[in-house]
Amino acid sequence: MEGSNIFSPSLAFTLVFALALCAQLLLKFWLATRQMRHVAGHRAQVPPPFAGHIPLAAHQKAADYTLAKGRVGLLEIALGAAVVLGWTLLGGLDALNQALLALVDERGGGGLLQQLALLAAFALINGLIDLPLTLYQTFVIEQRFGFNRMTLRLWLADLLKSTLVGALFGLPLAAAVLWLMGAAGTLWWLWAWALWMGFNLLLMVLYPTVIAPLFNKFTPLADEALRQRITALLARCGFAAKGLFVMDGSRRSAHANAYFTGLGAAKRVVFFDTLLQRLTPDEIEAVLAHELGHFKHHHIGKRMAALFAMSLAGFVLLGWLATQPWFYTGLGVRPNFMLAPGSQVPNDALALLLFALVVPVFGYFFAPLWAGLSRRHEFEADAYAAAQASGAALASALLKLHEDNASTLTPDPLYVRFYYSHPPALERLARLPAPAANL
């Protein structure tokens, strides 16, 4: 139909998409290799501000770890682009869709079942493609640097559980969205957006209480002195939490963390056992005060509002794109309404998948905006922690966590601008009192 005309919207869209994919690939490679060169170039010496705080061996371990992850990262970048290309312009999604249509045709019926099968098959295939690299990251790289605590058995059990949980939540959600797309008229995207928002809120309630306990053990914080200290900090900051928990993060990894989870008054404070083992009570209090700073400055609410607004824009866009033939043909897919005019076989699953494949390609270029906002929030939370707890304790906690996690102290500045959600240690410490005083 349209393919022969050189100015067809379909061809134009193919070109725009291919250009964006190439630009994204080149930019990702360029940034990743810059970061690796920068880290390798600063490997020989602990940067002067940190001399005396970080041993040379730890600095070099961080460099080696960053480089090892970077090399796999290059492979990941190439694989990611190949997978997107394979699904779209090389015809992977079209072939999968046609195969499932043929299968359904033989048995009669179709519609929702075929579409759900398409979504599930797509997710499974993508999961299988990602599997080797994930295994390599955990059992080769994390292992080599002493971070991995997982056995293959635990890894397999996790995979099985997360697949089941994903299917349990994902399939009904997908079925509901597909149903809305077919039955809710031209404003389906508004309903689908409302459903998506509701689902996200539900997850925020269910995650800490139902999902996370499937993977980890959560025990109430037993250390009475620390408990009182933290309770006092929460009270001082006017913060309502439902409980303080310790998570057995050490079962899987030596990396340490602390976080808040849940909604409203049902919020929980969760400490990784690895964090409690490594930090002093002063430092733990400071780390928690930093997290409280995010709440006090309404960062969480702002981020959620931004996500709500962006997903609304996404659904508006999807609602329009799903009706445009060039959106499908331009991405290498023959929509059902073009193959069999007048047929009742819907294209909704195709539209969802193409959208999910294409949005990250274009959205990638906006990553620096998001990262920049996040870094500003981190500074605000640090300042709050310095006021409510101790800036010096936060600084020493940051140094310990950097060393323990083998995070590089010498990232490439441009790489930081593009990707880092947290400012580099040097910038954070420079804004805190001692031990940054001598930095």
Q: Which is nearer to Zn ion, 143 or 374 (CB)?
A: 374
Question: Quick one: 76 or 380, whose CB is closer to Zn ion?
Answer: 380
**Active-site residue flag, 378:** no
Q: Residues with Cβ < 8 Å from 150, sequence gap 6 or more?
A: 138, 139, 158, 251, 252, 253
Binding characters for Zn ion, 362-381, by CB under 5 A (x = yes): ----------------x--x
Distance from the Cα of residue 118 to its chain's centroid? 24
Residue 74 in 3-state DSSP? helix
Can you say whether the dihedral through the CA atoms of 310, 316, 321, 322 is positive or negative?
positive
Residues near Zn ion (CB under 5 A), total: 2
Q: Closest separation between CB of residue 201 and Zn ion, Å?
A: 22
Residues of span 377-416 touching Zn ion by CB under 5 A: 378, 381
What count of other Cβ atoms lies within 10 Å of the Cβ of residue 36? 21
Q: Residue 378 CB, nearest distance to Zn ion (Å)?
A: 5
Residue number with CB closer to Zn ion (286 or 318): 286
- State the helix-helix crossing angle for 56-87 and 112-136, rounded to 10 degrees: 150
**Under the criterion CB under 5 A, does residue 425 sit at the interface with Zn ion?**
no
Tell me how far, at minimum, the Cβ of 374 lies from Zn ion, in Å.
8
Q: In what order do the strands lie in the sheet with 218-220?
A: 218-220, 243-247, 268-272, 258-261
Nearer to Zn ion, 217 or 302 (CB): 302
Annotated catalytic residue within 291, 378, 403, 427: 291
**Residues linked to residue 258 through DSSP beta bridges, in sequence order:** 271
Q: Residue 40 Cβ, how far from Zn ion at the closest point, in Å?
A: 28
Within residues 117-156, the interface with Zn ion by CB under 5 A covers none
Q: Angle CA(291)–CA(294)–CA(297) in degrees, nearest 5?
A: 145
Pairing of β 243-247 and β 268-272:
parallel
Output 28 or 294, the one with its CB closest to Zn ion. Answer: 294
Residue 279 beta carbon to Zn ion: minimum distance, rounded to whole angstroms: 15
Instruction: Of 354, 359, 361, give the one whose Cα is nearest residue 335.
Output: 354
Contact track, Zn ion, 329-368, x by CB under 5 A = ----------------------------------------
Binding site for Zn ion (CB under 5 A): 378, 381
Residues designated catalytic: 291
